[in-house]
A and B are shown apart, each in its own frame.
Chain A
Amino acid sequence: MDGYPAMPKSWNIASKPHKFCPGCGHGLVLRVLGELIDEYQLQERLVLGCDIGCSLLAWDFFNVDTLQTHHGRTIPVMTGIRRANPKLLCLAYMGDGGGYAIGAQHLVNATLRNEKIMTLLVNNVNYGMTGGQMAPTTLPGQRTETSPFGRNAEETGGPAQGVEMVAAIAAPGAYVARGTVADLRQLKRFMRRAIENQLAGGGFSFLEALSTCPTNWHTNARQTWNFLEEDMARQFRVGEFAVREKGMGKNDN
């Protein structure tokens, strides 16, 4: 059989099998994204910016123009590209470390300025690339390399509620949502709206995807699903937090 039909057309076959760990949610998020790139024929229009961290392994994932930025600076780089060439659709792809830790200032200010870019943040509640250290999003009581007795919420705070924060300061015309790789059809629906918000000339699109990290969670497949669907779902509410109203976008009728 020629090629592989389960892969979106925009995937770069030469880099497959991709470099993400077994069971990593990045592959799922990027497949949903790839399907939408195909559907909206964005291959020529899209610029994908990768952050440092596991998300940088997406650098040769698609046959689209991709660039790699400094840690946490994906949002400002994409902002610059979008301002220089408004015809492009700019997508900043990052993990929770890049978005809520080192890059949090950019996320806040891009939201405040209502930049016309899309941000896709994959939240796996730890720092995966460096070996599973505690991140701002780590759940209370969760064991990581740097919280071997479980995260102490009194000392280090609770998990960062990034989507709620962005939604609280988002300007009209923004789209803010949180999906999960446990419900890929819903995730695709949210991602479609985030992309459509960009195509319609709306404001900032922000989508967080709750994701899996079996390697650093030290979980098998069943425990992985359980942790995602139960433990993480208890801490993070899935849904749409801000939706562009009709007529807010430049191209809305």
Chain B
Amino acid sequence: MTIKIVIAGEGGQGVQFVGEVLAWAAHGEGMEALYIPNFGIEQRGGVSLAYVQLSGEQIGSPKFRTGEAVIALSERAVSRTKQYVGRQTTFIYDNSLLAAPQVADETVGLQSYDSVAPEAFAKATGGRTQQWQGPLPEKAGRIIGLPAARVARQELHPRVFNTIILGAAVSALRIVGLEAVKSALEAKLGEKFAADPELRELNYLALERGAELATEAQEPGRKAADKSFRNERFEAPKAWLYISSDLCKGCGLCREKCPAAVLDWSDRLGVYGTPSIGPARLDQCIACGLCQLVCPDAAILVERKKKTAPLAVTGK
């Protein structure tokens, strides 16, 4: 299968760099790789596109209609790449809402002096916030939004913005390993790294941070809404009893079902401000687990203790 990727952003955001490193990393892992940059005057402003294809077999054509991944790093890039988004597409965008400097590319002639040179781009990014106007592509199979520009600015350095995106793409698509990307970075930026070893650290950090951000963004349900509940642990002869008064509604079903009358009302208040269940006679617990089974709110967990190893038989 061929993985087709479109990366788009404002000229100067480092879009082409991400595309090229991805291609080199895949090549390093023995895959076929194709990278077609698409920029003209965009180097001085406008949307810059990179087309990347990675495959286990030979790649027939440099063109394609739908990408396995579309990475759009500015608002304008989102609408520009809409056509490449299909039902199976992973759509990655920067949701930190920091304005990327833009140049109106409709009026030919303005661009040459009105644009921001790549060197100055990092500085200009994040100068002001923008309201996200346009819609995200609805069709996309999954959408991953990550605050790469903000993280770059606040935690690392504005210049590693694109390395964060690279890390996120690698982690979200699982096409090449992080190690292969690191050696591709080394090949591309080796001289700069040699001159300033801190730069290597910074880029590696950005890679890993990007991968992390993508993982967080991919599991909105469990991870983002990670709640913690008060959870007390009690020791009984045969088991550990975990009781969470933040979940207990005080229905008493467990208290009735417990065959050893271990559970009773405690001083702690539960969800509705009524007494929650607690262990009153822990020494009687036989670790049957019935209380956990009948709790409609999953407020109880019984963890049976491992049996101690039998005494070793010595001699014959």
Contacts and interface: CB of A to CB of B under 8 A. Distances in A.
Interface stretch (A14-22, A101-109, A126-134, A198-206): A14-22
Contact of A24 (B244, B255, B257, B296): B296
Contacts of A25: 296
A6 B221 contact: no
Interface in B224-274: 225-229, 231, 242, 244, 246-247, 249-253, 255-257, 271-272, 274
B169 interface: no
A3 to B, nearest CB: 7
Interface in B89-118: none
B252 A17 contact: no
Interface stretch (B75-83, B181-189, B297-305): B297-305
Given A22-B251, A24-B296, A26-B296, A221 B231 contact: no
B296 A224 contact: no
Contact of A214 (B225, B229, B251, B295): B251
Contact of B231 (A4, A185, A214, A224): A4
A27 B225 contact: no
A184 B293 contact: yes
A23 interface: yes
Contact of A5 (B271, B274, B301): B301
A14 B227 contact: yes
Contact of B249 (A1, A5, A22, A181): A22
Nearest to B220: A63
Interface size class of A (residues with CB under 8 A): 35 or more
A16 B294 contact: no
A215 B222 CA distance: 31
A3 B293 CA distance: 19
Query: Could you say which of A12, A13, A222, A224 has the most chain B C-beta atoms within 10 Å of its C-beta?
Result: A13
A227 to B, nearest CB: 12
Contacts of B257: 225
A23 B249 contact: yes
A2 B244 CA distance: 13
Contacts of A18: 297
Contacts of A23: 249, 251-253, 296
Contacts of B251: 21-24, 214, 221
The 4 closest A-B pairs by CB, nearest first: A27-B296, A23-B251, A221-B252, A14-B225
Interface of A: 1-7, 9, 11-14, 16-18, 20-28, 31, 63, 181, 184-185, 212, 214, 220-222, 224-225
Given A1-B242, A17-B271, A185-B293, 17 more contacts: A1-B231, A6-B298, A12-B225, A14-B221, A16-B298, A17-B249, A17-B297, A22-B250, A22-B251, A27-B298, A28-B294, A184-B294, A221-B252, A221-B253, A222-B252, A222-B256, A225-B256
